[in-house]
Amino acid sequence: MRAFATRRKRFFGGISVLLVAASAVAALSVSVAQARSSAGELKGAGATFPAPLIAVWQQRYEAAKDVKITYNPIGSGGGITAITNKTVDFGASDAPLTPDQFNACNGCVQLPWVLSATSIMYNIPGAPNNLRITGAILADIYLGKIKNWNDPRIQRINRGFTMPDRAITPVYRSDSSGTTYNYTSYLNTASREWKSRVGKGTTVNWPAGVGARGSSGVSGVISRTEGALGYADVAYALKNKLKFFSVQNRAGNFARPGLVGIRAAAQADRKFSPTNELSIVNPPPGKRFRKAYPICTYSYVLLRIQSQQAALLKPFVTWALTSGQAFGPALVFQPVPKYVVERGKTTLRRVHP
């Protein structure tokens, strides 16, 4: 029994030391916060896709305008939930809101503010970067119909490299993700069977493959699994030094997910839907889209029309749409076209306290 008592004493001793330390840290951070009085603070949450760019914005905007931006990359779905529940000042989502979600949000607007591409990454030992692939092949891989890398359809378009006799492991996001929405929207346009059997969405019923949580999970599984294939935003593939495909566009060319390919793809849709949607997935054949990378997407910022923080929010989003875009190319974010900026400014006018 004595052993019990001393253990308990030690336990509580440990706890109290922890408590003291925690309160000291808390006191310190409070005093730091008070010392640096900023003009205000904006809270955001949502998609992981624009997170690398938003991270740069946070520093630059705070330095320039003295407004602190916090952003929590919890995923598109989480961003939609957060703005619906008014726990943040702005949300972010790669997939445009569904009518259901608009109703639930009750007084929200969305506007595109970031433009980039989804890369298809692979792990084939010895293979060069930027092997070629088509949407139809990708769909058949994820449908479980093409199972081996030496499939004649893959070999035929990659003449310079002998595809290995190795099983393909398709990897997908198990959590709800805007990147999945972008990718499945593309497969929808590339394969009729995909469209009827699976369809598009932030989560879908994958016929084959294994799931992984988050972009980090997907790239983790790919980098550790020989023969794996999966998707994530291109900044992620570059950061993790993973190889990714050149994907065939409808003009018949194989395009890489770079700034040129994204810029060309953005031409595909200039007509906003009433809810500010733009769909630039798999642009039509044609000279204008010769260089287009077919799996590009806008990512959206979600705002409440009636917002307490409107006075801070409007300048920030305007800045992000204009000056902020200049930080994009370094992270493979193509600056949004002028008409998107104009549309954004028009939409912002409706936002008020």
Partner 1 sequence: MSVAQEQVSGPAAFKRRGRFRPGDAVLYVVTLLAAVTSVVLLTLITREVLADAWPAMDKFGLKFLTTQAWDQNKELFGARSFIFGTVVTSFGALILATPISIAIALFLTELAPRWIRSVVGPLVELLAAVPTVVLGLWGILILGPFIVSTLAPALHGALGFLPIFGPPPPVGSSMFAAILILTIMMVPIISSLCRELFLGVPSELKDGALALGATRWEMVRGVVFPYARAGIAAAMILGLGRAIGEAIAVTQVIGASVAINTSLFEPGDTLASRIAGQYQGADTALQVSSLVYLAVILLVFSLVTNIIAQIVVRRVAGRHRV
| Binding stretches for partner 1 (CB under 8 A) | 3, 74-78, 80-81, 98, 100-101, 166-167, 169, 171-172, 174-177, 198-206, 209-213, 217, 220-221, 224-228
Looking at the Cβ atoms of 217 and 315, the one nearer to partner 1 is 217
179 CA to centre of own chain: 5
Which is nearer to partner 1, 110 or 309 (by Cβ)? 110
Q: Which is nearer to partner 1, 163 or 260 (CB)?
A: 163
Show the tokens assigned to 43. Answer: 């809270």
Q: How far is the CB of 136 from partner 1 (least distance, A)?
A: 20
∠ CA(259), CA(261), CA(266), 5° rounding?
A: 90
Alpha helices in the chain (DSSP H): 2-35, 51-65, 76-84, 99-105, 135-142, 152-157, 178-190, 192-197, 214-224, 234-239, 259-266, 310-321, 338-349
For the CB of residue 290, give the shortest distance to partner 1 in the complex, in Å. Answer: 33
Structure tokens at 259: 């700034």
- CA dist 251 and 320 (Å) reads 33
Shortest distance in whole angstroms from residue 187 CB to partner 1 = 12
CB of 80 to partner 1, least distance (A): 7
Q: Which is nearer to partner 1, 197 or 270 (CB)?
A: 197
Q: What is the CA radius of gyration of the chain?
A: 23
- Could you say which DSSP state residue 96 is in? P
Q: How far is the CB of 83 from partner 1 (least distance, A)?
A: 13
Task: Output 168 or 341, the one with its CB closest to partner 1.
Answer: 168
